Amino acid sequence: MGEQLPVVSLFSGAGGLDLAVERADAEPLVGADPGSGLLRVSVATDYNEPALATLKANFDSTATLTGDIRTTPTEQILATAGLRPEEPVLVVGGPPCTPFSKSGFWLEQKRESRDPNASLLDEYVRVVRESRPEAFVLENVQGLTYKTHKAQFERLLKGLGELGYNPQWKVLLAADYGVPQLRRRVFVVGRRDGKKFEFPEPTHSGWSERDRTIDTTKIPHVTAAQAFADLPRLVRASTEEIVDGQYGELAAEVPPGQNYLWHTERYGGRNHFEWRSRYWTFLLRLDPNRPSTTLQAQPGPWVGPFHWENVKTANGDQRVRRLRVNEMLRLMSFPDDFKIDGTRADVQRQLGNAVPLELGKAVVRALMDQLGYLSPSHTAREVIFA
């Protein structure tokens, strides 16, 4: 292995995009190929120490820097990595998406795009301006592109454009790149030389909530059942996995792929809820024959997706169960041996905020191809879970 190319990671979280960076030249096989080590995350930054603890457990050679990016000088970030301006090949990162997420629209300040955390986009621009990487990759929730946040998004693009990076953006569906999850993320990518970045073509195809057209020349979307196929089957569920309480019985009666709407007058359930009175994810269950819906970072007690199979309580009652850690790793296309400490809720919070590995790999690999560090010889192959 030759000299590794240095990368600066901002808002690193549990390290989803960092993992994609370090495995960018790996074949598109989930957990099976770590790549040759072309890129190395030299420094990872975040204000959340538990997330950086996860990153440290999985990235032995990465220096970490804990703190608020708004009070962390770029010079300190580079010094922690042992780098000077223009030496990073990439700056990557996803500023916290809460200000732009649909799940926060119940707050007036978020609907009106007045969340103070939105300024973190400006901090990303600041680090790019002062570190001058060869290229950058920024990702965020699709909501950043909505009209509600037009001013912030345009300011971001303008700021990066004024630096000469010619930023290009696109909303990508993770399932189109081999991830067993219907998760949409926006990526903004730019090059210091000003050349236009071309986003990678999808390798997989299948129907989603917006597109019922299937490209039969591509690999079918990976389903949840395929993702879980070789995982161990546990007879008993832990207490924290069981969905019980007020809606426990109703949830257990919802068929795979359905949600609370099953219990309205239009479907075959109990006619307990009004039509469209809840979020789509309320009592939502996985369809084993389709990719999962988006894995939520901080779901309420009745928010899915839940597993399609029921489990029995100590009293013999049928109940829905929440997804297990190994299942969530599969839905994010993370390797099975990825280490995350904490409770099941801690794991879901970190994974739900992360970039799915195969989606991140596709973008970073395309960028490295176009920068001339890789030959464009990576072809789509059936995703193998190992």
Binned at pLDDT 50, 70 and 90, residue 29 comes out as: low
pLDDT at residue 118, rounded to an integer: 58
Strands 168-173 and 184-191: antiparallel
- 144 backbone dihedrals φ, ψ, rounded to 5°: -60, -25
Which residue of the set 20, 26, 51, 97 is catalytic? 97
Binned at pLDDT 50, 70 and 90, residue 375 comes out as: confident
Residue with the bigger pLDDT between 234 and 322: it is 322
pLDDT at residue 48, rounded to an integer: 85
pLDDT digits (tens, 9 = 90+) for 316-337: 999 999 999 999 999 999 999 9
Asked, for residue 380, whether it belongs to a domain, the answer is no
**76 and 124: one domain?**
yes
Rounded to an integer, the average pLDDT of 262-290 is 96
Q: What is the CATH number of the domain that holds 117?
A: 3.40.50.150
Asked, for residue 162, whether it belongs to a domain, the answer is yes
Rounded to an integer, the average pLDDT of 56-83 is 95
Q: Are 325 and 338 in contact (CB under 8 A)?
A: no
Name 141's Cβ contacts closer than 8 Å, sequence gap at least 6. Answer: 97, 100, 101, 102, 184, 185, 186
pTM of the entire predicted model: 0.91
Percentage of the residues of the chain whose pLDDT score is greater than 70? 90
**166 and 39: one domain?**
yes
**23 and 97: one domain?**
yes
Question: How many domains does the chain contain in total?
Answer: 2
Rounded to an integer, the average pLDDT of 9-15 is 94
Binned at pLDDT 50, 70 and 90, residue 237 comes out as: confident
pLDDT at residue 109, rounded to an integer: 42
Asked, for residue 334, whether it belongs to a domain, the answer is no
- According to DSSP, residue 249 is labeled H
The whole-angstrom separation of Cα 198 and Cα 189 is: 9
Lowest mean pLDDT among 1-15, 70-84, 145-159, 190-204: 1-15
Domain that holds residue 357: 5-218+341-371
Tokens at 159, concatenated: 């700021």
Asked whether the predicted pLDDT for residue 27 surpasses 90, the reply is no
Asked, for residue 383, whether it belongs to a domain, the answer is no
Comparing C-alpha atoms, which of 355, 4, 62, 370 is closest to residue 187? 355
**243 and 192: one domain?**
no
**119 and 240: one domain?**
no
Residue with the bigger pLDDT between 129 and 101: it is 129
From its phi and psi, is residue 71 left (phi > 0), alpha (psi between -120 and 50) or beta? Answer: alpha
Q: How many CB atoms lie within 10 A of CB 143?
A: 22
**15 and 159: one domain?**
yes
Domain end residue (candidates: 267, 297, 323): 323
**38 and 138: one domain?**
yes
**165 and 289: one domain?**
no
Cα 289 to the center of its chain, rounded Å: 21
Task: Say whether 97 is catalytic.
Answer: yes
pLDDT at residue 208, rounded to an integer: 87
**314 and 358: one domain?**
no
Distances (CA, A) of 266 to 58, 82, 90, 230, 269: 48, 62, 52, 37, 9
Asked, for residue 378, whether it belongs to a domain, the answer is no
Rounded to an integer, the average pLDDT of 197-202 is 98
Name 196's Cβ contacts closer than 8 Å, sequence gap at least 6. Answer: 166, 168
pLDDT digits (tens, 9 = 90+) for 241-275: 999 999 999 999 999 999 999 999 999 999 999 99
Rounded to an integer, the average pLDDT of 212-225 is 95
Binned at pLDDT 50, 70 and 90, residue 179 comes out as: very high
Asked whether the predicted pLDDT for residue 108 surpasses 70, the reply is no
**26 and 139: one domain?**
yes
Asked, for residue 164, whether it belongs to a domain, the answer is yes
The whole-angstrom separation of Cα 315 and Cα 96 is: 42
CA atoms within 13 A on the CB side of 151: 9
Distances (CA, A) of 352 to 97, 116, 231, 305: 11, 22, 20, 12
**210 and 241: one domain?**
no
Asked, for residue 69, whether it belongs to a domain, the answer is yes
Strands 39-46 and 219-220: unpaired
**42 and 157: one domain?**
yes
Asked whether the predicted pLDDT for residue 290 surpasses 90, the reply is yes
pLDDT digits (tens, 9 = 90+) for 298-314: 889 999 999 999 999 98
Give strand pairing partners of 338.
none
